[in-house]
Amino acid sequence: MRQILSLAILAAVAAVASAGAQAHVNVGVSIGVPLPFIAAPVYAPAPVYAPPPVVESQPVVVAPGYYDDWRERAWRERQWREQRWREREWRERHREWHRWHDGDDD
């Protein structure tokens, strides 16, 4: 009984303390006294722009002949074959699923 009573008191104190921690009142008093304000003109120097650098264009060299990149061709072929394999596997699994599940409706 003592434990239950102490637990209830502790819970009540925690509830009151948490509510009291969030409750606050703001009171502010201010007296506005205008002060004389003198604005001094501010002069900023004009921005200096530099002309863009002159870059000479590089000559374009076109070499005659055909350069075959066999690595890229092999990579593309491998990707194509893997894609076809995935499509074929998906179709086969899809058909197999339908064979198993469509037979249950009969």
Averages of pLDDT over each 10 residues, the chain, 106 residues? 86 71 68 69 77 85 73 91 92 82 61
pTM given for the model = 0.29
Which pLDDT score, from 0 to 100, does residue 106 have? 46
**CA torsion through residues 91, 93, 96, 98, sign:** negative
Q: Would you mind telling me the total number of residues written for the chain in this entry?
A: 106
Cα–Cα distances in angstroms (integers) from residue 97 to residues 22, 24, 34, 103, in the given order: 61, 67, 85, 10
- Decide: helix, strand or coil at residue 9: helix
Which pLDDT score, from 0 to 100, does residue 40 have? 67
DSSP at 105: G
Domain ranges of the chain: 81-106
